[in-house]
Every structure is written in C-alpha cells, then in structure tokens.
Amino acid sequence: MGLIPLLTSERGRSLHLPAHGRGAALPSDLRAMLRHRAGIWDLPELPELGGPLMQRGEVAESQRQAAVAIGAERGWYGVNGATGLLQAALLAMARPGQAVLMPRNVHRSLIQACVLGELTPVLFDLPFMVDRGHVYPPNRTWFHEVLNELPKADVEIAAAVLVHPTYQGYATDIKPMVDELHGLGLPVLVDEAHGAHFASRVDEELPDSAITAGADLIVHSLHKSAAGLAQTAVLWWQGNRVDPIAVERSLGWLQTTSPSALLLASCEAALSEWHNPAGLRKLRARLDEARELTSRLRDLGLPLLENQDPLRLILHTAAEGISGIDADAWLMSRRLVAELPEPGCLTFCLGLAPQRGLVRLMHRCWGGLLAAYGKGLSLPAFAKPPLPRIAVPAMPCGLAWRAQSHKVPIAEAVGSVSTELICPYPPGIPLLVPGEKLDQRRVDWLLEQHHFWPDQIAGTVKVLAF
Ligand SMILES: Cc1ncc(COP(=O)(O)O)c(C=O)c1O
C-alpha cells in the first residue's frame, strides 16, 4: 500500500494518541501554516530561527515566553518525544556511578538513560490493584515506607523520578513527595508525559501539575496530552537544584542538530493553547464533554473505572471476563481504535477533538463485545508483581545489557541474571530490567505475563552466560 495511502486513509473512530485526533484538534495557527505552500516551512536553524539550544532566534524567544506563561523558569522544546527529554534530564541530574530513585512504572526510556549514563536505578514498588492489574501512584504512607527503606539500597542516590499521572490517568498529589525528596537533598524529575494539560490550570478538579508542585525538571509530551504533532515534547526547569548548563549539555548529547521546524512550531502552537482564551475554552469543553460521556456510559452499564484524568476512559473488560487485548482486537476490526490494551482493561484516549456520537457507538460496541466474549463472570484477580519495596539490580544495567548472554525458556531462568528488558509496548513499562536476578516467584509471575501478552512477551529470556 505504501505509507502515504495508509496515513491518509480513513480508519474509523480514533480514540488513540496523538491527542489532536488525526488533525481535528490541531491548533488553528498550525493548520494555517500547513495550508501554505507544502514544505515552505521546512527550514534549517537559520540565525533568525535558531534552535532549542541557541540563545538567540525565534525558537529561544518562543521557549522563553512559553516558560513564563506556564510558570517555569526555562523550557526546551524537544523533537524526539518525551523519551529524548527524559533521558537528557536524567543525565543532567546524576553522574556515572550514582543511583537514581524511581518507581517501578517508569517508562523504558529512563532505564535506557541509566544504561547511557552508567546510573543505577533504585526501583520502588507501587500499590497494585488486583481487580484490573494496574499499579497506582503511591500515597504519603507508602512513600514514607519507601524512603525508610532507602538505606538498605546501600548506594549513593543523586536524584529521584516520579511519574504523574500514569498512562491510564491515575494521579495523586505529588507535592508532599516532591517536598520530602527535596528535604533529603534530592532533585526531582517528574515524567508528566500524560499530564501537560494539568499545567493549564483550566479546571479545579484536574490534579496539580508537577510545575506547581515544585519539581525541578518536568517533561511534558505534547502529543500525548496537548495538541502537538507526534514527537513533540517540552522539558521545563525551575529552582536551583539542577544546573541548567548540565541540562543543555545532555540535550546536546541526545538531540539532533537539525530539529524539524515543523515540530518546533507545533510545540509552540500546542503550548500556546493553554494560555489563550480560545484554547482554554476548547480544553474546558473537552473536559466537560468527557465527564458527561463517562457518566452516560456508566448509566448504560459500561464498567468504566475511576481515575483523575477525564480524557482517559478505562474500560474494565476483566469485570465481564474479557481480556483487554481480545477486546481491542475485536473493536479494532469494528473500526473503534483504542490506545492501550492490557490484560484487564482497555484504555481509550478521548483526546482534544470533539467526540460526537460516541456514547451510542461505545454502547453498541460494548453490547457486541459482551455477546461475543462476555462470560458473565469477572476474570480471576491479577497477581501482584512479587517485588520488594525497593530493589537494585544485581548487576549494573548497562553491563548486563551488553554482556554475553544466551536465551533460555523463562521457566528455566531461576537464579539467572537477565540481560534484557522485558517490556510490552504500550505502555512501555519494563516488567524486567537488565541486571535483575530472577527468583522462582518472579519467574512464575513472568510466565503468567507471557500468557497474558503472548504477542509481546516471549516465553524466553536472555540471561547472563557464564
Ligand atoms: C509515562 C511515559 N513517559 C514517557 C513516554 C515516552 O513518550 P514519547 O513516546 O513521546 O517518547 C511514554 C510513552 O508511552 C510514557 O507513557
């Protein structure tokens, strides 16, 4: 078929990312730009334009204004997704040999950054909801217990990472956690890839942004939670705990020297939506519409779970004995395309475009799905990952990843050290990190995950060859 015919084909109802909904919610100034002669805007880093790391030029000015408007001190646009900016941010916070505290639900890009920067991830476990198989952000008591156990890790921790909100839109108040980490002298990076819209402050009920919570570095994905094109993101900096020169140095290590002017313009346009009255009106309308839609669907019997982001709908398929992965395949063949299939749930991203007729469509599809797969009984409870409150890989991630390895069936890996990252995508959250040693309980749990995600998790694992 070729890429262009595929990209321009109609694909049914898109309840997936990017959040601009196949162009429907692109900011009007970006649309106007795209109506100019095709390609006229594809410029290099000319002096008057500059780039994200230059002090002068329109990009620098745009970043300055965006930072002021959102309440941060500095900002850098990114054209390699939240991935590139998270990696640069982490490398700016810790030196080779140091360790970084991070939750078990970090995106794989941060583990990869540990490899690049020779950092040790100190991974803390999270509350787990057995009815749906999701982790939840920690509350204060949980977080205290994590901090109390830190001395056991016996490593020099230089910084901390928090994820806020999760892919499914779960969030807690992170300010107390940021404050506690600061109290320990640790700078905090928040992966707010899915929560750029929290910074709009448009709606009292949305959780506070990590910017307001006082985090030192914050990454927003502008295509996941604003109306940016795929790959757009922004890194914010504030406070005095992280050296901005170190941030620029690591951005320089990882960024292209030819950033796409189209993507940089998209960063500016997406962010300016949160600061102009028309953009804010649109966002408020989407949030109101999403709450109304959720309430009507619940009234019609759809098992939608509670979360803190109205723009993410979590359909609890497990409540009717249906795997979210089967549900996704069935719905996709009926042209309803979701974002995140998981063993117990299917998450839809409503995005920033209006969703006309969605109640009727989802109600009809749910009825069809129940008739095709429903068991009238919920799936058995999901097993909590058998992980300690905090854990440090038995071997440095980078050494393990590059080591001589051989592939064994998961069942035969007890006592071995993994040399690979096992990670279904989406959501991109590692189930196993290179350097971790497998015990019997972890092996049993991974076998269960293989059964849940047969196309994503192989029945084998690469382990250290002796
Ligand atoms: C929590 C989280 N952080 C970071 C990323 C990476 O974002 P991007 O795809 O923009 O690189 C993802 C992607 O799914 C994510 O879910």
CA of 399 to the centre of ligand 1 (A): 25
The kind and range of the H/E element at 85 are helix 81-93
pLDDT in tens, 375-411: 889 999 999 999 999 999 999 999 999 999 999 999 9
Per-residue pLDDT at 153: 85
Of 95, 222, 109, 237, the closest CA to residue 158 belongs to 95
CA of 314 to the centre of ligand 1 (A): 18
pLDDT in tens, 259-289: 999 999 999 999 999 989 999 999 999 999 9
Average pLDDT of the chain to the nearest whole number: 96
Which CATH number is 1-385 given? 3.40.640.10
Domain boundaries, the chain: 1-385, 393-464
Alpha-helix runs per DSSP H in 161-206: 175-183
Does the C-beta of 347 come closer than 6 Å to ligand 1? no
Per-residue pLDDT at 276: 93
Q: How far apart are CA 35 and CA 302, in angstroms?
A: 41
In the chain, % of residues over pLDDT 70: 100
Per-residue pLDDT at 207: 97
Task: Indicate whether 151 pLDDT > 90.
Answer: no
Per-residue pLDDT at 65: 98
Does the C-beta of 221 come closer than 6 Å to ligand 1? yes
Per-residue pLDDT at 376: 86
> What's the CATH fold of domain 393-464?
Ornithine Decarboxylase; Chain A, domain 4 (3.90.100)
pLDDT in tens, 171-195: 999 999 999 999 999 999 999 999 9
pTM here is 0.98
Q: For a pocket test of ligand 1, which of 167, 224, 312, 340 has the largest count of ligand atoms closer than 8 A to its C-beta?
A: 224
Neighbours of 144 (CB within 10 A): 14
**Which atom in ligand 1 lies closest to the alpha carbon of residue 425?**
14
Per-residue pLDDT at 338: 98
Task: Indicate whether 443 pLDDT > 90.
Answer: yes
CA of 218 to the centre of ligand 1 (A): 13
Q: What are the structure tokens assigned to 250, written together?
A: 């690591």
219-251 burial code (b ≥16 CB/10 A, e <16): bbbbbbbbbbbebbbbbbbbeebbeeebbbebb
The strands making up 233-237's β-sheet, listed across from edge to edge, are 74-78, 233-237, 217-221, 188-191, 157-163, 99-103, 120-124, 390-391
Per-residue pLDDT at 47: 96
CA of 366 to the centre of ligand 1 (A): 28
Inter-residue contact 76 to 85 (CB < 8 Å): yes
Give the SS3 label for residue 147.
helix
Q: What is the mean pLDDT of residues 231-252?
A: 98
Give residue 1's pLDDT band: very low, low, confident or very high (50, 70, 90): confident
Does the C-beta of 323 come closer than 6 Å to ligand 1? no
Give residue 337's pLDDT band: very low, low, confident or very high (50, 70, 90): very high
Per-residue pLDDT at 76: 98
Q: Is the peptide bond preceding residue 310 cis, with omega within 30 degrees of 0?
A: no
Does the C-beta of 83 come closer than 6 Å to ligand 1? yes
Estimate to the nearest angstrom the gap between the alpha carbon of 14 and the chain centroid. 19
Q: What is the mean pLDDT of residues 339-365?
A: 97
Q: How far apart are CA 92 and CA 100, in angstroms?
A: 12
Q: For a pocket test of ligand 1, which of 77, 107, 267 has the largest count of ligand atoms closer than 8 A to its C-beta?
A: 107
Write the CA distances from 353 to 20, 32, 267, 365, integer angstroms. Answer: 6, 17, 18, 21
Per-residue pLDDT at 375: 84
Q: What are the structure tokens assigned to 310, written together?
A: 């109205």
Strand partners, 163: 191
**Which atom in ligand 1 lies closest to the alpha carbon of residue 221?**
10
Give the SS3 label for residue 329.
helix
Give the SS3 label for residue 102.
strand
Q: How far apart are CA 56 and CA 181, in angstroms?
A: 35
The amino acid present at 222, given as its one-letter code, is L
Q: Which residues contact 428 (CB under 8 A, 6 or more apart)?
A: 107, 108, 109
